[in-house]
Amino acid sequence: MSTPETSRFVRLRVELVLEVDDADAVTKAALRRIAGEEGMPAAERAHTESAVTEDTAEALAYLVDPFDLVSEVPGVELQQASWSSERVDHDPESPDWDLDEDDGEDSDG
């Protein structure tokens, strides 16, 4: 299925909703990872430590690395990634949380 018009690039969209049972454990894990970043400048380290300490969502965003998700997949190389985190109200019974619902984009095949 490789024609000259077929792109080799694929956008993979993943949305996760995580329940945090132990915010302190998440924050401590993020702080440990920051402490292990040897080349991080002091000002950046202080800013990052402050962000992950003040907001569990920031700590999770620091811990979840898209490269880790695809690094073991044969035949692919991560070209670009972006991700964010935010606190949300989650009601698994609400139709707003239907994971099978399409995201509003047309899919022509």
Q: Tell me how crowded residue 53 is: count the other CB atoms within 10 A of its CB.
A: 15
Highest mean pLDDT among 3-7, 23-27, 96-100: 23-27
Q: What percent of the chain has a predicted confidence (pLDDT) above 70? A: 84
Q: Scan for tokens 């202080």, then name that residue.
A: 46
Reply yes or no on whether the pLDDT at 62 is more than 60. yes
- The answer to whether the CB of 85 falls within 8 A of the CB of 49 is no
Average pLDDT over residues 57-70: 91
* Residue (of 30, 86, 40, 38) closest to 62 by Cα position: 30
pLDDT tens for each residue of 71-85: 999 999 999 998 888
| 92-103 pLDDT, tens digit each | 777 776 666 555
CA angle 2, 70, 4 (to 5 degrees): 15
State the Cα torsion 59-24-16-32 to the nearest 10°. 40
